[in-house]
Amino acid sequence: MKLESTDDMFRSGAARALGSADPHASAVRKVLILSTPRSGSTFFCDALERTGLMGHPLEYLNPRVLSEVCKAGRQTRFVGRRLFWFKSRLAGRRLLKVRPDEPSIESSRRAWVDISEYLKHLQSATSCGGVFSVHIHITEWRILERNRLDPLAMGFDDIVYVGRRSRLRQALSLAMSIKYDYWDSRVVDTRPAQAAVSRGEVLYALKLLDEWYSHYESRIAPHVAAEFYSEDFLADPAMIGDVPVMLGIASERVDIPPSDLRPTTAGTAEAQYREMCDWLGVAPGA
């Protein structure tokens, strides 16, 4: 059954993050799936999860998931809300500021998530087969850096990158998602039948993507174990089964059970894409 809204999707992610910890769970391998938004990364991570060998790579560090974690996780050891909390516990802690969305959750004050403790909890609550995995967009990577938290120092053994070659198609998809807050095919699609975005909205999305790709290439790419692009794995989803082999987790390609999840990146309006190509003076395929 589809979720009613994008907010419901993030609440579901928070519920997974706040699942019961298994004191006996241990992760031999810690894997970070890094992506740019609208690159088919949710489809990619869902396929990895269904191999049964790659943990549960969800967006545990997405700000909207963390906001829901802060609302629901009042009694956890990694969420604090009042000023005295961080005054007494700040020393030696890696804290991420989160502003809850709803006024009823003290939105006039910032909540704080102790990232070290949060990751420890996630590892014990979501590891599978000795593997702990997290899906993070480059937007969240940069939020962590702005909070003086270095993802490269968080103990992940491998980073796998998911991107998209067609920057313009990605920008169209990103602009559409920003405008209508529609990010996942598991959510009911409430976009109007003639949903469209303006040239200005697409140019803004292109600007964001240029910043994100530049940051990836200059700061992160040297640390990446493998790169995958949606144009390849959407045409041949079975290739995602090679990831455990590349990371030394499996000895041969892993079969991926079927899923109802469909990549929303495939829905880029072809007519608007070609119109943007003409307007920008670039050949189709950009």
CA–CA separation, 68 and 6 (whole Å): 12
Nearest alpha-carbon partner for 33 in 267, 246, 263: 246
Say whether pLDDT at 211 is over 70: yes
CA–CA separation, 179 and 201 (whole Å): 8
Contact of 274 with 166, CB cutoff 8 Å: no
CA–CA separation, 132 and 152 (whole Å): 16
Lowest mean pLDDT across 98-112, 141-155, 247-261: 98-112
Per-residue pLDDT band for 198 (boundaries 50, 70, 90) equals very high
Tell me if residue 80 falls in helix, strand or coil.
strand
32 located within any domain: yes
Instruction: Supply 17's token pair.
Output: 């993050």
CA–CA separation, 116 and 150 (whole Å): 12
Say whether pLDDT at 141 is over 90: yes
5-17 mean pLDDT: 90
208 located within any domain: yes
89 located within any domain: no
Contact of 71 with 19, CB cutoff 8 Å: no
Question: What phi, psi does 47 have (nearest 5°)?
Answer: -65, -40
Write the pLDDT tens digit of every residue in 212-244.
Answer: 999 999 999 999 999 999 999 999 999 999 999
Q: Percentage of the chain with pLDDT > 90?
A: 50
Q: How many domains, in total, are found in the chain?
A: 1
168 located within any domain: yes
218 located within any domain: yes
DSSP 98-154: E--SSGGGTTTS-EEEEHHHHHHHHHHHH-BTTEEEEEEEHHHHHHHHHTT--GGGS
Average pLDDT of the chain is 84
172-190 mean pLDDT: 90
CA–CA separation, 142 and 63 (whole Å): 12
In the β-sheet with 95-98, what is the strand arrangement from edge to edge? 79-80, 111-114, 95-98
pTM: 0.86
pLDDT of residue 23: 72
Say whether pLDDT at 91 is over 90: no
Per-residue pLDDT band for 45 (boundaries 50, 70, 90) equals very high
Nearest alpha-carbon partner for 47 in 232, 267, 262, 257: 257
Say whether pLDDT at 74 is over 70: no
93 located within any domain: no
Other Cβ atoms within 10 Å of 207 Cβ, number? 11
pLDDT of residue 278: 86
163 located within any domain: yes
* DSSP symbol at 37: T
Per-residue pLDDT band for 82 (boundaries 50, 70, 90) equals very low
CA–CA separation, 49 and 21 (whole Å): 19
Say whether pLDDT at 94 is over 70: no
82-98 mean pLDDT: 46
126-151 mean pLDDT: 91
Q: Bigger pLDDT: 95 or 175?
A: 175
pLDDT of residue 96: 62
Stated as kind and residue range, the H or E segment containing 23 is none
124 located within any domain: yes
CA–CA separation, 10 and 4 (whole Å): 11
pLDDT of residue 68: 86
Q: Bigger pLDDT: 129 or 243?
A: 243
The domain containing residue 137 runs over which residues?
A: 6-70+120-280
Lowest mean pLDDT across 17-21, 205-209, 282-286: 282-286
Q: Bigger pLDDT: 73 or 203?
A: 203
pLDDT of residue 80: 61
The CATH number of residue 63's host domain is: 3.40.50.300
pLDDT of residue 75: 57
Q: Which residues, 6 or more positions from 51, have their beta carbon under 8 angstroms from its beta carbon?
A: 240, 241, 243, 244, 254, 255, 256
Say how far residue 28 (Cα) sits from the centre of its chain.
Answer: 22
